[in-house]
Amino acid sequence: MKSFVIRCGTPDCDWGHKVSELSDEQLKLCYSEFRKHCIQRHDLQEWDTTSHVHLDLEHWMLTLIKTNGVTCSGIRRPKAR
């Protein structure tokens, strides 16, 4: 079975999580590890449960979107129309 790595969407960040399949279990584990990473490296607070994670399957990246609209990379997401 071929595996792949889902990476953090923040430029210059080397975090990645090896995934062997896109099952619910594997994605939940990946999201959990990514959240821990964001707490350690990207100033996410442990109590912050309102932030969202965006999975980009085209680029195999996860991006944390904080409640104020700022991503881990500091790029502001566009407002919904």
pLDDT for 6: 93
Average pLDDT, the chain: 80
Find the mean pLDDT for residues 53-73. 77
pLDDT value at 17 more than 60? yes
The pLDDT assigned to 79 comes to: 45
Enter the tokens of residue 77: 């997401």
Q: Is the dihedral of CA 21, 37, 56, 65 positive or negative?
A: positive
Q: Where are the chain's structural domains?
A: 4-65
Tell me the whole-structure pTM to 2 decimals: 0.75
- Residue 61 is predicted with a pLDDT of 92
Q: Please give the Cα distance from 48 to 72 (Å, whole number).
A: 14
Cα 15 to Cα 55: distance, rounded to the nearest angstrom: 14
Residue 78: the pLDDT is 42
